[in-house]
Amino acid sequence: MQKFSHAIVRKPCRALAEGISSGLYPGKPDYELACRQHDAYIQALRECGVDVMVLPADERYPDSCFVEDPAVLTRRCAIITNPGALSRNGEKEGILEAVRQFYPEDKIERILPPGTLEGGDVMMAGDHFFVGKSARTNAEGIRQFQEILEKYGMTCTEVELEKVLHLKTGVNYLENDILLTAGEFVDKQEFISYHRIVIPEEEAYAANCIWVNDTVIIPEGYPAVLDAVRSCGYRTLTVDTSEFRKLDGGLSCLSLRF
C-alpha cells in the first residue's frame, strides 16, 4: 500500500555533538559517520517509494536533524508544534518554510504557548492519534492538538509517559493494527486492542521502527526485532543509526513522512 509519497529530512549539522542526550547510550556522535548514516537513511526512504526533500543543515540547532519534533503532518492538515525543549524551540520556523511547499496556508495549524508539543510524542494510527504527555509535551499542548484534530474530523488519545523521552521511543504503529511495544508500553491499557509485538528489554531502542509503504525500516543490530517484524510478513530494510542513538534519536525522529 502506497500511503506516503513524501518525506522531509534535514541534514545533520556539525554541532550535532552538542545535541540533547539522556546519556542512556553513551558517547558523542561522530559527525562524518552521522552524515553517512543519514545518507543511507534517505536512500532507504527512497527505496520505499517516497520523494525526499532534503533540507540543509542548520548549525543554530544541534538537534535539528530530528525533524519529526517540530511538526506533525496528517493527510488533512499540517501542525507546526511548539517544542518543549528550549534549545529546539526555534526549529519550528525552519520546518514551517518546508511545510508551506506542501500544504496551503489555511491547512497549517500551530501549537501555541503555553502549550508545548513535540512530534515524537505523536503516533498516527489512521485518523486516530496517540499523544504522549511527557517532559516535552504538556497538557495544554495536548488540548490544542486535540482541538485541531477535531476540526479536521480526527481523534486522539492521551498517553501518560513514565520513563521514556517521547511516546515513539517505546511504541510504534506498523499499520494493519500491529504495534511494536517496549518497556512501559507493553501493558498500557490504551493499546490493548492492537496486536502487540513485545520487544525484549535489551532491544528496546528498536521499538522505534518506521512503516513506509509496506516496508518496515529497522535500526541495524536488533535481530529479535528484525525476526519479529519479518514474521508479520513485512519487507524489511535496516539502517545503522548508532550516531543518532547517542542523542536518543531513532528512525522516526529523522523524517516527516506524509
Backbone angles phi, psi at 150, to 5 degrees: -60, -40
* 166 tagged catalytic: yes
Please, what is the Cα angle at 132 between 127 and 136, to 5 degrees?
A: 125
Torsion of CA 210, 213, 216, 219, to 10 degrees: -50
- As a whole number of angstroms, the distance between CA 16 and CA 14 comes to 5
Q: Give the binding range for ligand GLY (CB under 6 A) out of 7-15, 71-79, 228-236, 244-252.
A: 244-252
Task: Please report whether residue 19 would count as binding ligand GLY according to CB under 6 A.
Answer: yes
Q: Give the binding range for ligand GLY (CB under 6 A) out of 105-113, 173-181, 220-228, 245-253.
A: 245-253
- Among residues 20, 55, 108, 135, the one that binds ligand GLY under rule CB under 6 A: 20
Q: Give the binding range for ligand GLY (CB under 6 A) out of 49-57, 143-151, 201-209, 247-255.
A: 247-255
Which residues are bridge partners to 218 per DSSP? 238
- Among residues 7, 142, 247, 256, the one that binds ligand GLY under rule CB under 6 A: 247
* DSSP, res 253: G
**3-state class (DSSP) for residue 156:** strand
Cis peptide before 114 (omega within 30 of 0): yes
Among 6, 166, 195, 232, the one annotated catalytic: 166
In the complex, the smallest distance separating the C-beta of residue 83 from ligand GLY, rounded to whole angstroms, is 8
Which residues are bridge partners to 6 per DSSP? 51
CB-nearer residue toward ligand GLY: 91 or 178: 91
- As a whole number of angstroms, the distance between CA 99 and CA 176 comes to 28
Q: Give the binding range for ligand GLY (CB under 6 A) out of 10-18, 155-163, 235-243, 246-254.
A: 246-254
- Among residues 248, 251, 254, 258, the one that binds ligand GLY under rule CB under 6 A: 248
CB-nearer residue toward ligand GLY: 74 or 252: 252
* 253 tagged catalytic: yes
HSE toward the beta carbon, residue 159, CA cutoff 13 A: 29
CB-nearer residue toward ligand GLY: 25 or 102: 25
Task: Please report whether residue 58 would count as binding ligand GLY according to CB under 6 A.
Answer: no
Nearest residue to 145 (alpha-carbon basis) of 85, 95, 72: 72
Site for ligand GLY in 85-104 (CB under 6 A): 85, 88
Nearest residue to 253 (alpha-carbon basis) of 177, 166, 156, 129: 166
Grid cell locating 149: 484534530
- Among residues 58, 63, 109, 121, the one that binds ligand GLY under rule CB under 6 A: 63
Known catalytic residues are 166, 253
Rule CB under 6 A: which residues touch ligand GLY? 19-20, 63, 66, 85, 88, 247-249
